[in-house]
Structure 1
Amino acid sequence: METEKERSKWQSRAIWTAVYALSVLAAAQVGRISPTFEMLAQSFDVNFVGFGWFVSLITFASALSGIAAGLLVVAFGLIRSIILGAYLLAALTLLASVSPSFQILLVLRILEGFAYLAVVVAAPTIIAATVRPDQQATALAFWGTFFIAGISLASALGGSIAQELGWRAWFALCGVATASAAVVASRYLPGVPPPMSGEVAFRTTIRQLSKSLWTLSAAFLITTLLSVAILSMLPLYLSDRFSISMTEAGGLTGLIALGSLAGNLFYGRINSRVADRSIYVLSAIGAASASVFAFGAMNLVVAVIGCVAVLFFVGALVAMCFAAVPRLSNGTSQVGAANGMLTQMGGLGALVGPPVIGAIAASFGWPALVYLLATLCLVELVLLSKALK
Structure 2
Amino acid sequence: MTQAPDKTNWPLVALLYALGLLAAGHFAKAALTLGALAERYPEAGGVLPFAVSMTSVAGIVFGATAGIVVARFGARRVLLAAVVVGVALGAAEALLPAFGLFMALRLAEGFAHLAIVVAAPTLMAASCTAEHRGAVMGLWGTFFGVGFALFSLVESLAGTGLYWVHAALLAAVGAAIAPILPRGVGRGGATAEGWLARHVAIYTSACRFAPALMFFWHALMFMSLITFLPEFLGGWTAPLLPLVALVGTFWAGAATRSIAPQRLAVVAFAAGAALMVLFLLLPGLRLAIAVPMLLAFGAVPGAAFASAPLLNPDPADTARANGAIAQFGNIGTALTIPLFTLALGEGLGGMAALVVVLSLAGMAAVSVIFARVSPSAEAG
TM-score range, shorter chain: 0.7 to 0.9
Give the drift of 1:367.
6.7
Q: Does structure 1 conserve the Cα–Cα contact (< 8 Å) formed by 2:269 and 2:359? A: yes
Matched, 1:219 2:186: no
- Residues 50-199 of structure 1 mapped to structure 2, 5 A cutoff: 50=47, 52-158=49-155, 160-161=156-157, 165-166=158-159, 168-189=160-181, 192-197=182-187
Equivalent of 2:353 in 329, 346, 371:
371
- Residues 201-216 of structure 1 mapped to structure 2, 5 A cutoff: 201=191, 203=193, 207=201, 210-216=205-211
Instruction: Provide the aligned length of Structure 1 versus Structure 2.
Output: 362
- Cα deviations by residue, 1:204-249 (Å, 9 ceiling, x for unpaired): 8753752353344223222112224555xx3x885x88996xxxx7
- C-alpha distance in 2 between matches for 1:170 and 1:280: 36
Give the drift of 1:115.
0.2
Q: Which amino acid aligns with 2:214?
A: A
Equivalent of 1:383 in 349, 353, 365:
365
Q: Over the residues paired in the alignment, what is the CA RMSD in angstroms?
A: 3.5
Give the drift of 1:333.
2.1
Sort the Cα spacing of 1:156 and 1:310 in 2 relative to 1 into closer, same or farther, 3 A: farther
- C-alpha distance in 2 between matches for 1:373 and 1:57: 26
Q: Does structure 2 conserve the Cα–Cα contact (< 8 Å) formed by 1:140 and 1:319? A: yes
The gaps in structure 1 that reach 5 residues or longer are: 1-6
Give the drift of 1:316.
1.0
- C-alpha distance in 1 between matches for 2:55 and 2:251: 29
- C-alpha distance in 1 between matches for 2:34 and 2:233: 16
Matched, 1:340 2:323: yes
Other-structure match for 1:319: 302
- C-alpha distance in 2 between matches for 1:365 and 1:31: 28
Equivalent of 1:255 in 232, 237, 240:
240
Q: Which amino acid aligns with 1:376?
A: L
Q: Does structure 1 conserve the Cα–Cα contact (< 8 Å) formed by 2:54 and 2:110? A: yes
Q: Does structure 2 conserve the Cα–Cα contact (< 8 Å) formed by 1:22 and 1:181? A: yes
Q: Which amino acid aligns with 2:306?
A: A
Q: Which amino acid aligns with 1:314?
A: F
- C-alpha distance in 1 between matches for 2:38 and 2:234: 17
Other-structure match for 1:3: none
1:126 is paired with a residue whose SS is helix
- C-alpha distance in 2 between matches for 1:105 and 1:360: 33
- C-alpha distance in 1 between matches for 2:243 and 2:301: 14
- C-alpha distance in 1 between matches for 2:82 and 2:16: 12
Matched, 1:282 2:267: yes
Q: Does structure 2 conserve the Cα–Cα contact (< 8 Å) formed by 1:212 and 1:386? A: no
Q: Does structure 1 conserve the Cα–Cα contact (< 8 Å) formed by 2:138 and 2:249? A: yes
Q: Which amino acid aligns with 1:213?
A: R
Give the drift of 1:118.
0.7
Of 68-77 and 271-280, more deviation after overlay is shown by 271-280
Equivalent of 2:29 in 29, 32, 43:
32
Q: Which amino acid aligns with 1:372?
A: L
1:186 is paired with a residue whose SS is helix
Q: Does structure 2 conserve the Cα–Cα contact (< 8 Å) formed by 1:56 and 1:354? A: no
Q: Does structure 2 conserve the Cα–Cα contact (< 8 Å) formed by 1:30 and 1:58? A: yes
Give the drift of 1:69.
0.9
Sort the Cα spacing of 1:108 and 1:254 in 2 relative to 1 into closer, same or farther, 3 A: farther
The percent of aligned pairs where both chains have the same amino acid is 23
Q: Does structure 1 conserve the Cα–Cα contact (< 8 Å) formed by 2:75 and 2:184? A: no
